[in-house]
């Protein structure tokens, strides 16, 4: 699978790279590239197994633009394991939650590039890609304690990281919300921290103009109605610490 252009208007394009390790041991992940004018941001570049393929596709998709930003939604290996390679082979600046900057060096961050890994403060920040604004929205505890999503108001995309993730759904765009629940419910109940956090996130994103929610794994939610269904579902979901009490028993052995 190569790349799919999801949005293209003027000098702004949003490109999906997916499934570079089909049938592999590693969990399927999506990489997204946002190109605007002369600048570009790669979101959650991934680990070593897909590094060379994502790199080749990224450079093939950039055209005359430069890769200027590497966005890391959180600290998981499927997102940051290959970050040193990205920093060594491009001039891009990388951004991750301030909670995680001192953990990334455990993946082998060369001293030469360490100064190009930047902290995103808890309240989020705004990036500029050749004049286009991209918003790093707080999405803490969904699932990571220091976790951000990218909102692109030009394309009306919300890149939601692990929120909305599905595994093994046989499509890249959700065709029917109710029948898609089987692919997302178990994961969200266990990985997302609590309904209270889900509600805070829903209150933040509801006023935004969103046409597509694009998670880091599995299928996208496209169209206003599908986006609304997903946000409403999140806001009503008991998950994480809401459900965890029955697990806390000493195992029988």
Q: Annotate each residue in 147-186 with x if it binds Fe ion (CB under 5 A) or - if it does not, as one string.
A: ---------------x------------------------
Q: Does 76 bind Fe ion (CB under 5 A)?
A: yes
In the complex, the smallest distance separating the C-beta of residue 74 from Fe ion, rounded to whole angstroms, is 6
Instruction: Evaluate whether 68 touches 129 at the Cβ level (below 8 Å).
Output: yes
Using the contact rule CB under 5 A, the part of the chain among 73-81, 146-154, 168-176, 194-202 near Fe ion is: 73-81
Residue 33 β-bridge partners: 15, 42
Nearer to Fe ion, 40 or 192 (CB): 192
Nearer to Fe ion, 24 or 223 (CB): 24
Using the contact rule CB under 5 A, the part of the chain among 49-57, 72-80, 97-105, 120-128 near Fe ion is: 72-80
In the complex, the smallest distance separating the C-beta of residue 192 from Fe ion, rounded to whole angstroms, is 11
> How many residues sit in the footprint of Fe ion (CB under 5 A)?
2
Straight-line distance from the first to the last Cα atom of the chain, in angstroms, rounded to the nearest whole number: 46
Measure the CA–CA gap between 178 and 212, rounded to whole angstroms.
17
What are the C-alpha distances in Å from 85 to residues 50, 70, 101, 168?
A: 12, 12, 16, 29
Residues 26-45 touching Fe ion, rule: CB under 5 A, are: none
- CA 133 to chain centroid, in Å, comes to 17
Measure the CA–CA gap between 101 and 190, rounded to whole angstroms.
25
What are the C-alpha distances in Å from 43 to residues 82, 107, 109, 175, 203?
A: 13, 18, 18, 24, 24
In the complex, the smallest distance separating the C-beta of residue 6 from Fe ion, rounded to whole angstroms, is 22
In the complex, the smallest distance separating the C-beta of residue 232 from Fe ion, rounded to whole angstroms, is 23
In the complex, the smallest distance separating the C-beta of residue 218 from Fe ion, rounded to whole angstroms, is 13
Nearer to Fe ion, 76 or 152 (CB): 76
Instruction: Evaluate whether 183 touches 218 at the Cβ level (below 8 Å).
Output: yes
In the complex, the smallest distance separating the C-beta of residue 97 from Fe ion, rounded to whole angstroms, is 12
| Contact residues: Fe ion, CB under 5 A | 76, 162
């Amino acid at each position: 699978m190569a790349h799919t252009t999801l949005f293209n208007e003027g000098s702004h394009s949003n490109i999906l790279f997916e499934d570079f390790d089909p049938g592999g041991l590693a969990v399927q992940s999506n990489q997204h590239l946002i190109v605007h004018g002369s600048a570009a941001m790669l979101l959650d570049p991934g680990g070593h197994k897909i590094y060379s393929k994502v790199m080749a596709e990224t450079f093939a998709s950039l055209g005359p633009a430069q890769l200027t930003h590497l966005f890391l939604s959180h600290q998981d290996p499927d997102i940051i394991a290959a970050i040193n390679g990205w920093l060594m082979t491009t001039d891009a600046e990388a951004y991750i939650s301030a909670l995680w900057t001192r953990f990334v060096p455990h993946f082998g961050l060369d001293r030469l590039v360490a100064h190009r890994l930047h902290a995103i403060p808890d309240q989020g920040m705004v990036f500029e890609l050749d004049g286009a604004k991209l918003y790093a929205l707080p999405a803490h505890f969904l699932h990571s304690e220091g976790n951000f999503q990218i909102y692109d108001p030009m394309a009306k995309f919300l890149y939601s990281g692990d929120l909305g993730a599905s595994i093994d759904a046989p499509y890249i765009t959700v065709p029917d919300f109710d029948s898609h629940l089987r692919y997302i419910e178990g994961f969200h109940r266990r990985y997302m921290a609590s309904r209270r956090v889900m509600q805070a996130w829903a209150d933040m994103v509801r006023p935004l103009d969103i046409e597509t929610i694009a998670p880091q794994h599995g299928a996208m939610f496209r169209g206003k109605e599908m986006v609304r269904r997903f946000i409403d579902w999140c806001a009503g979901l008991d998950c994480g610490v809401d459900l965890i009490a029955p697990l806390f028993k000493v195992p029988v052995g």
